[in-house]
Amino acid sequence: MTMRRFCLPLLCLLALAACSGGESPRAAEFVAPVPSESDFGDLRVRYNALPTLALSEAVAKQYGVERDPGTALVVIALRRIQDGEEIHTDGEVTLQAFDLSGARQRIALRSIDTGDYSDHIGIADISPRNTYRFEVAVDSSGRKETVQFQRNF
């Protein structure tokens, strides 16, 4: 029995040591950021979702958002591309999110002025170590488009 107690941990350690396959450690590789915009002809949809705790107090106040560990701010911006420049455009935007279990939440959006632009913002309920897939439906100038993006929290 004593020999078994000694051999089992030793075998586990040997198995773990073999996992590297003899490779030496490598430097970390750069992972490009995930795109946060989609173009549909001259319509550009920008999107992002970040934990509200990542917002400074001033930014949270500017957006009228309460900082909370269980929420994320979702920002959707509609822009029209004209002569290579982005200009504000209006449109209807609806948003829903799905977690890893497939549970759906509809996210109410409101419009907020950000200088020369008006963006759509909403608050999503999130849980730690979960991934969310966001589906954005846009109706702007008679064009209907859908954007999907994913964020890990």
Tens digits of residue pLDDT in 35-94? 699 999 999 999 999 999 999 999 999 999 999 999 999 999 999 999 989 999 999 999
Q: Which domains does the chain have, with CATH numbers?
A: 35-152 (2.60.40.3340)
Strands 71-82, 117-125: pairing is: antiparallel
Across the range 100-112, mean pLDDT stands at: 95
* Sequence-ordered list of residues with C-beta below 8 angstroms from that of 46, at least 6 positions apart, any chain: 36, 37, 75, 76, 77, 78, 79
pTM recorded for the entire structure: 0.76
Which two three-digit tokens encode residue 118? Answer: 């008006």
The type of residue at 22 is G
Residue 128's pLDDT band (cuts 50, 70, 90): confident
The type of residue at 60 is A
CA distances from 95 to 57, 76, 83, 148 (A): 25, 9, 29, 10
